[in-house]
Amino acid sequence: MTRLIFLGPPGAGKGTQAKTLADFLHIPHISTGDILRQATKDQTPLGIKAQAYMDAGDLVPDDLVQDMVQERLQQPDAEVGWILDGFPRKVSQAEFLGQLLAENKQGDVKVINLDAPDDVVITRLLARGRKDDEEKVIRHRLDIYRDETAPLIAYYTHLQQLISVNGNHPPEEVATVLQNIIAH
């Protein structure tokens, strides 16, 4: 049973690697960014509320994402394990998740910190060209990452759950490193 959280700055390759590893392990890849983008596309009540935050590169309020993640983790396909990509993104969300998993006796989670330098992630994000990948918004997302998300590295190190992986290598190499980590 594999339960993994992927941490890292936007552009570190989290989404690509989380998806590849989840397919390899036959477990669901749960990306909060993907779920939120689909919700905005479908103009669901959640999507309508989340849209302005996402366009600005701000975090969507905790109660919205937390309800969304809780509901997703209760789906039957998540019983065999999962990879969470994009959640938690701040300490309050990590505390919420920790409590939720403890209640379900699922505390045995590993956290992969996929890191890459700022210049690398900025170049990658500019090349990607998503709606929120304009340079000003990218820099804002990186600031938010540094202020809100990076403290989770210390948080999960303290809980002895953190494994750091260098994302500044070709995707196939990073994928192999991740598969080896999971096998051990």
Residues at the site binding ligand ADP, with contacts judged by CB under 6 A: 10, 14-15, 32-33, 36, 53-54, 57-60, 65, 86-87, 89, 93, 141
CB of 52 to ligand ADP, least distance (A): 10
Q: What angle do CA 61, 71, 19 make, to 5 degrees?
A: 85
Distances (CA, A) of 73 to 10, 28, 125, 151, 175: 23, 10, 28, 24, 24
Residue found under tokens 């999507």: 47
CB of 7 to ligand ADP, least distance (A): 11
CB of 118 to ligand ADP, least distance (A): 14
Chain residue at closest Cβ approach to ligand ADP: 33
Residue 1 or 75: which CB sits closer to ligand ADP?
Answer: 75
Distances (CA, A) of 50 to 40, 59, 85: 7, 9, 17
Both tokens assigned to 55: 């366009």
Residue 1 or 131: which CB sits closer to ligand ADP?
Answer: 131
> What distance in Å separates the CA atoms of residue 51 and residue 47, rounded to the nearest whole number?
6
Residue 137 or 180: which CB sits closer to ligand ADP?
Answer: 137
Provide the 3-class DSSP secondary structure of residue 21. helix
Residue 1 or 123: which CB sits closer to ligand ADP?
Answer: 123
CB of 103 to ligand ADP, least distance (A): 19
CB of 184 to ligand ADP, least distance (A): 27
Helices (H), 6-144: 14-25, 32-41, 45-56, 62-73, 91-103, 118-128, 135-144
Residue 75 or 130: which CB sits closer to ligand ADP?
Answer: 130
